[in-house]
Amino acid sequence: MPTTKKPIDKTDPRVVFGRQLAELRRQAGMSQEALALESGLARSYLGSVERGQRNIALLNICRLAAALSLRPSDLLQTL
């Protein structure tokens, strides 16, 4: 049975968060792999968060913010 992909909803908070995370990661000069290592999260998980495919937990938001030397609220700025 073929699966059909849903179009990406650019207003979905998971998508908005993922784009903000990716932008801040790039501004910090970090690759997904480097951020994953620094935060203790799997690179594949981080990639799916940046694509808006995961409903990220608060604890992981805090881990990512610490790895980027930011406050958790900085990651939520665009929501």
CA dist 32 and 51 (Å) reads 12
What does DSSP assign to residue 23? H
Q: Which of 15, 14, 30, 42 is nearest to 68 (CA)?
A: 30
**Cβ pair 9, 15 in contact under 8 A:** yes
> Apex CA 20: angle with CA 11 and CA 58, to 5°?
90
Domain 13-75 has CATH 1.10.260.40: yes
Average pLDDT, the chain: 94
- Note the pLDDT of residue 1: 59
DSSP code, position 6: P
The pLDDT tens digits for 32-68 are 999 999 999 999 999 999 999 999 999 999 999 999 9
The domain limits of the chain are 13-75
Q: How confident is the model at residue 2 (pLDDT cuts 50, 70, 90)?
A: low
